[in-house]
Amino acid sequence: MAAGEHAVTAGTKPAPVSFARSLLRTKPVDRIVAEGGQGEGGELRRTMGLLQLTLFSVGATLGTGIFVVLGEAVPLAGPAVVLSFVLAAVTALFSALSYAELAGTIPVSGSSYSYSYATLGELVAWVCGWCLLLEYAVSVSAVAVGWGAYLSAFFDDAAGFTIPAALAGPPGEGGVVNVPAVVVVLLAMFLLLRGTSESATANTIMVFLKIGVLLFFCAVAFTAFRSGNLSPFAPMGWAGISAAGSKVFFSYIGFDAASTAGEEAKNPRRDLPLAIVLSLAIVTTVYVLVGLAAVAAMHWTRFSLSGSEASLAEVLNVATGRTWPSMILSLGAVIAIASVVLTVMYGQTRILFAMSRDGLVPDVFQKVSPRRRVPVANTVIVAAFIGTLGAVVPLGRLVDATSIGTLFAFALVSVGVIVLRRTRPDLPRSFRTPLYPLTPLAGVGFCVYLMVGLGGVTWTVFALWSLVGLAAYFLYGRRHSRLAGGPSGRSAP
């Protein structure tokens, strides 16, 4: 057992430790892996293969970002936005390689929360899990809000029908309640309650459909290819490419979704690392193709005039002069966003499942239905929380804070690789991060660089969110931690 790890045998209390040391206690990797799949009342079922895991990550990543990000990024970089996507992909790759190593070494549902618990200690793990709540729950609420806008656009193009404003937005933004946001969350909830296999099948279908729609966009846009639109290629130079890279990086958030399925994968040590790297490669290819097709079909100066949410639709209007391609694109956006809601909600429930099993959040989140083999109460609670946020809360700056929370979690994963290599070099690793330690160090550096570049308001919101999380830990999590022998319904194995 590595230094600093504290085992708790069934029915015994651990030896007293100082307050500072108690915050740094790590959970033994062997124990984390041994508990995999176990919940109160039942176990999760291993049903997901490499294809399903890969498409879960693609489903969580390939969504709202690509449909709106070009309108914000192209005015910063010009046609060189294609390089911005590559720059962002390289940045994401450093974190992805670290995720791949830890996912193959610690194949459990907790993702970066569990990795931090095994390497950096309980307090850091809690903060990481709290950041993941911000990344998953709040961001998917915002995504659900956007789903209604695209659904309304599709209805308008297809049937001339527009969802009434009172039912399409929250108070303060011209509405009373955002009904579409609630609908898409409920649809995702019912799918998740049916079972992991059924959810994975639905996601696979949606991912193939939305990739098909984006390839359709590329095919149509390339018919209007104008080489003159690509000159000058980088009107704002490297500074513009870098600034746009910071914008488009957030289109890559979600590739870590496969790591939350570690306890429902058939062969997690082999498939999780492959799924993470493959999903990033697929998403990067699609983004570069869409970016190139868009700037080649419509001059980059027009993107600032079209509005970010309408940029791809405007490209198709320029390329064809007709409305039906835009209708197909709107349908693709509806499918894409529904897939993101489904996969991100899944990831959120599995992270809470792992935290509950450790005693840091209430036991209700780890209760598994013996018949369905899914955490039913967990899923319903998460859906209610996300649906409420999407229905009545204008998220505003809180949504911006999801990016900084994600970057913080990514940086912790890279640090975790370094720590685990030093403390447990004996562990079997199905994947090893190449060019160690340069790759994880670069991952930390890129994440910190992007975090520093975020606005002061974002940092303030993140600080407040962290303070609330610390209060929750000291009032509940620390006292109920199973690693510390706190009150629990199950003894450690």
Q: Tell me the pLDDT tens digit for each residue of 202-218.
A: 999 999 988 998 899 99
Alpha-carbon distance of 327 to 240, in angstroms, equals 32
Alpha-carbon distance of 186 to 143, in angstroms, equals 14
Q: Contact at 8 Å (CB) between 280 and 212?
A: no
Confidence class of residue 396 from pLDDT cuts 50, 70 and 90?
A: low
Q: Contact at 8 Å (CB) between 8 and 492?
A: yes
Quote the pLDDT of residue 9.
43
362 vs 318, which has greater pLDDT? 362
Confidence class of residue 144 from pLDDT cuts 50, 70 and 90?
A: confident
110: pLDDT strictly greater than 60: yes
Lowest mean pLDDT among 319-333, 345-359, 436-450: 319-333
Reduce the DSSP state of residue 489 to 3 states and report it: coil
Quote the pLDDT of residue 169.
67
* Short-list 391, 368, 388, 40, CA closest to 192: 368
63 vs 54, which has greater pLDDT? 54
**Average pLDDT of the segment spanning 223-237:** 89
Quote the pLDDT of residue 489.
43
490: pLDDT strictly greater than 60: no
Average confidence score pLDDT of the chain: 83
In tens, the pLDDT along 356-386 reads 999 999 999 999 888 888 899 999 999 999 8
**Average pLDDT of the segment spanning 181-206:** 90
Alpha-carbon distance of 212 to 395, in angstroms, equals 31
Length of the chain measured in residues: 493
Lowest mean pLDDT among 47-51, 55-59, 258-262: 258-262
**Domains of the chain with CATH codes:** 45-480 (1.20.1740.10)
Quote the pLDDT of residue 186.
93
In tens, the pLDDT along 150-188 reads 787 778 777 777 777 777 766 666 667 888 888 899 999
Omega cis (within 30) before 170: no
The model's pTM is 0.84
Identify which of 27-31, 61-65, 245-249 has the greatest average pLDDT: 27-31
Give the other-Cβ count within 10 Å of 18's Cβ: 8
493: pLDDT strictly greater than 80: no
Alpha-carbon distance of 389 to 145, in angstroms, equals 9
Percentage of residues of the chain with pLDDT beyond 90: 27
Q: How far is CA 206 from CA 73, 90, 160, 265, 337, in A?
A: 26, 26, 25, 20, 10
Is residue 210 classed exposed, middle or buried when 0-12, 13-18 and 19+ CB atoms within 10 A define those classes? buried
Helix-strand-coil percent breakdown of the chain, rounded to 5?
70, 0, 25
305 vs 485, which has greater pLDDT? 485
Quote the pLDDT of residue 87.
87
**Average pLDDT of the segment spanning 254-270:** 85
308: pLDDT strictly greater than 80: no
Quote the pLDDT of residue 398.
55
Omega cis (within 30) before 28: no
Quote the pLDDT of residue 310.
53
* Short-list 387, 371, 390, CA closest to 379: 387
Confidence class of residue 420 from pLDDT cuts 50, 70 and 90?
A: very high
**Average pLDDT of the segment spanning 198-204:** 89
395: pLDDT strictly greater than 70: no
